[in-house]
Structure 1
Amino acid sequence: MDLSIIVVNYNTKNFLLSCIKSVKKNTKGIVYEIIVIDNASTDGSADILKRLKGRLFKITINRQNQGFAKANNQGIKIAAGRYILLLNPDTAIEDNVLGEMINYMDNNPKVGIVSCALKGNNGKIQATGGYFPNLARVFSWMFFLDDIPLLDRLIKPFHPMHEKSFFYRGESFFRNAGLRDWVTGAFYLLRRPVLDEVGLLDEDYFMYTEEVDLCFRAKQKGWEVWYLPKWAIVHFGGASSASEFPIISEYKGVKTFYKKHMPSWQTLVLRLLLKVGAVLRIILFGILKGGSYVKIYAKAFQVA
């Protein structure tokens, strides 16, 4: 078995079916399986999944939402492939991306984890990974400095310019292949020996930052992490997350990352930076965007 594709589904049945169809239509030259972990969806996903039959599929239906990390680990534990792909259900595979990227991995044994370009349904390239959140990068993020052109070249950003930034030039950044510290879990291809060496996704992360953590552990062991925009898939984006959820989860995730990997004094500084950043966003976004953002970042202040 060359590849095990793990898709964690939560109330995205229409995206899920389209994703599976795109894999089956466009994947050639490799032997693969599709493992779907349903996280207690309430949209009828379970009924649809029960109809998927054959050796191609392995289906697990959870009674409770286990989160992204734990659900993917469920899939990894039953996976038979030499390679593991964590794939969001709100994606569509184009051309023979999977077959060609497996061939790339076979020919580059030092590469442990890779991602391809993610394109929105409008054709624009989305942000896909970045650099580990050291204190300088968190400071830059919290004070909006990573939105300033050229400065992001001096302090490589935790997540390079987002599309909503006034100074956004992320599309050009993500047109270039290169080594990264981490890549996004929406398309996260890794070889099995990485997991054998560093372990599974850390289940202390419910969702967000778990892929950063795994890349961190992999790079500590000498594995390379690459972003390869030669290949691309469609990512419709955000189909499983409300707007508040990713913001709060990222705050929690970065704090957890520091508790696990950084000295205790750095964790204290991090928490201060996160709280100051939340206050700045309460003021700025409250003026520009209204009360809903005030509530979100007031909650972020509490969890920081």
Structure 2
Amino acid sequence: MTASEKHALGEAAVERQSGHRVGVASPTATMTVSLAPEGELADCVVVIVAYNSAKEIGGLLDSLPAAADGLRLRVIVVDNDSADNTAEVVAARPWATHVPSGGNLGYSGGINVGRRTAGPTRAIAVLNPDLRLEPGSLRRLADAAQAPGAGAAVPRMLDGTGGFFPSLRREPTVLRALGDALLGGKWPSRPGVLSEMVWSRGSYERAGEVDWATGAAIVITAEADAQVGPWDDERFFLYSEETDYCRRLRQAGFAIHYIPEATARHEGGGSGAGPALVALSTISRLRYFRKYHGRFATALFVTALGFSELLRVRRPGNRRAMLALLSRRSRATLPGMSARP
């Protein structure tokens, strides 16, 4: 860390305690962040779970001031034992707090560390490090989450080039798993009973309630967070944790609102890539379904998952997923799975 960065850290600490707005020089802009002093009520606490995220996280952090549009924030970066310079990137934005988790706890585990660190707040925003939020988006989500009957809000997601990204989902069923296995992205206008994915572009143009959405960005009210409790970090190291959490939100009587006027660009790659992660996604889907359904329904769901992997078996990730479905020993070699039942 340079001398100027250390000096900025010292000044920011004083301003954070006094609740003042902190101006920070970044590589891209001079930004003003409205900070909630420690122990005082924040409008929103931003929780970002990082793992070797140095290349992505700076862009997200730099997008937050404009996205917050005056909300009083606390920004917590939970670092899951990164081996790169994630800590230094965060330190260059002294209005963000770097919290080492003590190991790679997975996405759910990291979120739970952030929740415990949050302090008093009206809402918690859970964000992937590879996002960029458009101006005003965080405020719109925080406002929408507080609407009567709501408990959470999710944004319109764009891909890294600003193009359409299908981020909305329906509750997983055997029939939907079979439909997606057979059709994938073909016939996007097919009935909702045949796809977990919401493919129709028209659905993304209007606000409304959704079953769940990709967990890259979600704002949850403090009331909903307190009632639903921790994310399930015992079953879900990575993937399907948002499916589970949103189901629990709905079961507790809270709606998840989709807000197309709030926009986030998903650069991708924040969780890495490769056959092992493709397989982990499939196994996490199985774990989710098994949590809420009996043996017979789960056996049908496993069959649908296996059929999907078989149709795509030429791809290394799908071959690895098929092996993981068939072999517990193979499943145990996936990231974060060795200590999980």
Where does residue 290 of structure 1 map in the other structure?
none
Alignment of 1:275 with 2:306, yes or no, is yes
- Within 5 Å, give how 1:155-304 maps onto structure 2: 155=193, 157-161=195-199, 170-203=200-233, 204-282=235-313, 286=314, 293=315, 295-304=316-325
Q: Whole-Å Cα distance in 2 between the matches of residues 209 and 9 of structure 1?
A: 18
What is the TM-score when the length of structure 1 is the normalising length? 0.86
Counterpart residue identity of residue 106, structure 2: G
Counterpart residue identity of residue 133, structure 1: P
Q: Whole-Å Cα distance in 2 between the matches of residues 83 and 118 of structure 1?
A: 20
Q: Deviations over 1:92-124 (max 9, x none)?
A: 122111123323333x12111211111223221
What count of residue pairs does the alignment treat as equivalent? Answer: 282
SS at match of 2:160: coil
- Within 5 Å, give how 1:1-304 maps onto structure 2: 1-50=42-91, 52-53=93-94, 56-80=95-119, 81-106=121-146, 108-144=147-183, 147-151=186-190, 153-155=191-193, 157-161=195-199, 170-203=200-233, 204-282=235-313, 286=314, 293=315, 295-304=316-325
Q: Whole-Å Cα distance in 2 between the matches of residues 95 and 52 of structure 1?
A: 18
Q: 1:194 to 1:73 in 2, by over 3 A?
A: same
Question: Shift in Å at residue 148 of structure 1?
Answer: 2.0
- Which stretch shows the higher mean deviation, 238-247 or 176-185? 238-247
Q: Whole-Å Cα distance in 1 between the matches of residues 43 and 261 of structure 2?
A: 21
Percent of aligned pairs with the same residue?
A: 23
Question: Shift in Å at residue 48 of structure 1?
Answer: 3.4
Given that residues 117 and 125 in structure 1 are in contact (C-alpha distance below 8 angstroms), is that contact kept between their aligned partners in structure 2? no
Q: 1:145 to 1:8 in 2, by over 3 A?
A: closer
Specify the structure having the higher radius of gyration (Cα).
Answer: 2
Q: Whole-Å Cα distance in 2 between the matches of residues 183 and 126 of structure 1?
A: 11
Q: Deviations over 1:28-83 (max 9, x none)?
A: 23211100011111221123335553xx4332123422111100110011112210
Q: 1:183 to 1:249 in 2, by over 3 A?
A: same
What is the TM-score when the length of structure 2 is the normalising length? 0.77
Structure 2 unaligned residues grouped into runs of 5+:
1-41, 326-341
Q: 1:133 to 1:26 in 2, by over 3 A?
A: closer
Question: Shift in Å at residue 18 of structure 1?
Answer: 1.6
Q: Whole-Å Cα distance in 1 between the matches of residues 180 and 265 of structure 2?
A: 27
Counterpart residue identity of residue 158, structure 1: E
Structure 1 unaligned residues grouped into runs of 5+:
162-169, 287-292
